[in-house]
Amino acid sequence: MSVRALRHRFLWRLRAPADPGEVRRTERWLATARVGLAVSALVAIWMDPVEIRYSVWAYGLLFVYILQGVAVIILLRRRERSTPAFRSVVHAADVLWPALMSVFATGLANPFFLFFVFVLAAAAYRWGLWETVGTAASAVTLLWIDSMAFHLGFFDWLDGLLLRHNLPPLRAVATDFEPKRLFMLSISLVVMGLLLGYLAEQQKQLRAEKAVIARVLGKARVEAGLTGTLQDIVGEMLRLYGAKRGLVVSQEANSKRVFVGDVRSGNPGGHGFHWLDPLPSDHDTYLFSSPVESCFVWRMGKDGRGKMELAGIDAEGRKVSNAPATSFDRLAQQHEFSSLLMVSFIFGREWWGRIFLLDPSLAGEIDEELRFLQELVRQIGPAVYNVYLLRRLRLRAGAVERARFARELHDGAVQSLIAVEMQVDVLRRQPGNSDSMSQELRRIQGLLREEVLKLRELMQQMKSLDVDSRRLLGFLTDVVERFQRETGIAARFYSDLEEFEIPQPVCRELARIVQEGLVNVRKHSGAHQVLVRLSAQNGLWKLTIEDDGCGFPFAGRFSHVEEDSQGRGPLVIKERVRLIAGELTIESIPGQGARLEISIPQEQKAAHG
C-alpha cells in the first residue's frame, strides 16, 4: 500500500477518535484473554509435557507470563484510563514472551503458536492494519534472532553454564528454527497479520464512517431552522474535508426558484453563512444537467490553473468515465478554485440541489471518498427535510393562531372601538355643545378611527395569504375597495389580464406589496386618489401603484440599484420585490404624487429566495 493510503486511514481515525471508556474495556478483555490463554497452555503442557521436553524453564516463563497478565488486570481495574504508553509497553511484552517461549516448542502445532495469533489479534483490535503488520514483522524478526542464536551456539553455551551451576538445562528445540521451516512460519505470521489487520481496518473505517454520519446528523436541529441547520452541517463537512468554502445550491420544485448559500470556514464565531444575491445565470451555473451525482474536479498543472479533469460516480455508486468537466467552466469563472467536491441531494419532492466544497483535501481513493460523501448526504437528507417540515408546520400553526387572534380582535376590540367612535360622533352632534367640546370630541373620534384602521391593518398582516393566479385579481379588488371604504380615499384597481399563470409565491408577494403600498399612502401621502394596475408586457408582469399625494422627499425617477445606493424608497416593499427577483422603479414629484412600478420576469427559474 502507498503512503497516500496510509494517510487516508490515519485521517479516518482522526475523524472518529476512540472513546476512552471503549479503550479501557478493550484492554480489560485482552488482559482476561491473555491470562486465559496462558492458563490453557499451562494445562496443555502439563497434560503432555513432551511438547516442551519437560523443561522447567518453559514452565517458569509461562508462569511469569500468567503473573504479567494478572498484574495488567489489576492495573486496569485501579487506573481510570489506559494511556497509549501503557498499551505500547504491554503490547511489546506480548510480542517478546512468545518469541522466548517458542525456543522450547515451535511449529504451527505447538501450544505457544497461539500466543502469536493472540498478539496479532490484539494489535488489530487496538489499532489497525499497519500496526498489525508491524507486530507480525517484529515477531518474525525475534524468531530469526532465535534461529541465529541457535546457529551461533548461544543456547548450547547457556545449557553448559546452567549445568556448571547445577541448574536444569533449557532443553531448547532447534528443529523448527532451520531456515526453510522458519521461513514458512514467517510467511504464515505475515499473511495472518495482513488478514487480521485488513479485517480490523475495514471494521474501524466502517465504524468511523458511522461516527462521522452520526456527528453530522446531530447538527440537524429544529430550533436552528433550515438556514442554521445547513450552516452547521456544511460547516462540519468543511472541517471534515479541510475545505475553506462551501456552496449550498437548491431549487424549489414548485416555483423553480434557486437558492445559493455561501459557507466559509475560519470565522472566529464559527462558520459564516449568507445567501448570495440573485443572478440570472445561477441555474445554468450550479444546477446544470450531468450524469454524475457525486464528483471530484481538479485542475491539471503545478499552478492549479490548467485543464480541468473530472472523476465521478452515478446514483448507484458506479464510476462514470465519460462525464465532461466543461460543465464546471461557468462555476470556475464565478468562483476561483483548484479542486472541488460536488454531491447532489434531494429533500422529499419539494427541494433538490447540490453541495460544492471548494479546494478540499482528499487522502484516499477518490471513488471511495465520493461514495462516502454520497452516503453521508443521503443519510442527512431526511433529517434536514424533517427540520424543514417541522419548521413549516410551526409556521402553519402560528398562522392558524394568528388567524384566531385576528378574529378575536375583529369580534372584540375592533367592534368595541367602532361602537365607541359612533357614540362619540352622536355626542359631538348633540346641540348645546361648545366649540371647544366639539373640537375635542372630533379629535377623539379621529383617534378612534385611526386605531380601528391600525388594528385592521395588523389583522391583515397577521392573516396568512393563500393567493394564487385564480384568486389574485379578486383579492386585489377587495383590498382596494376596502381601502376606499375605510379611508375615504378614492381608490381604483385595473387589470389588463384575464387568464394568466403566476407562481403562487409571486402572487402572495404581489398581494403583500399592494397592502403595504396602500398603508403607506394612507399614513404618509395625504392623497385623494390612488390607482393600482396589474398588466403584462415584454415578458414582464407589471404592478403599478400611483397616487396624487405629497410624493417622496426627492424628485425624479430612480431604479432599484439607485435606490439601494442612496438609501431611498420603502424598505419593506424593496425586500418583497427582491424576493421575487423583481425590479422596483420609483417616480416622485414632491407635492404632486408618486408612482411605484414593480416589474417581475415571467420566467422565474433563476429567481432567489
Q: Is the pLDDT of residue 107 over 60?
A: no
Q: pLDDT tens digit string along 407-465?
A: 665 566 666 666 776 777 777 777 766 777 777 777 787 777 767 666 666 666 655 56
pLDDT value for 492? 92
Task: Give the integer Cα–Cα distance in Å for 455 and 566.
Answer: 33
Nearest CA to 171 out of 50, 51, 55 is that of 55
At 422, which amino acid appears?
M
Within 475-551, strands assigned E span 490-495, 529-537, 540-547
Query: What's the mean pLDDT in 57-81?
Result: 82
Answer yes or no: same fold for 224-393 and 466-609: no
Q: Is the pLDDT of residue 111 over 70?
A: no
pLDDT value for 605? 43
**Mapping DSSP to helix (H, G, I), strand (E, B) and coil, where does residue 595 land?**
strand
Please state the domain extents for the chain. 3-215, 224-393, 466-609
Give the pLDDT band (50/70/90) at residue 268: very low
Q: What are phi and psi of 135, to 5 degrees?
A: -65, -45
Task: Give the integer Cα–Cα distance in Å for 413 and 331.
Answer: 56
Q: Is the pLDDT of residue 7 over 60?
A: no
Q: Is 360 left (phi over 0), alpha (psi -120 to 50) or beta?
A: beta
pLDDT value for 16? 56
In CATH terms, 224-393 corresponds, of 3.30.530, 1.10.3470, 3.30.450, 3.40.30, to 3.30.450
Task: Give the integer Cα–Cα distance in Å for 225 and 347.
Answer: 15
Q: pLDDT tens digit string along 292-341?
A: 999 999 988 766 567 888 999 998 888 988 888 888 988 988 888 889 99
The one-character DSSP state at 222 is G
Nearest CA to 377 out of 349, 350, 353 is that of 353
CATH top-level class for 466-609?
A: alpha beta
Contact indicator for 563, 574 with CB cutoff of 8 Å: yes
Q: Is the pLDDT of residue 4 over 50?
A: no
pLDDT value for 48? 67
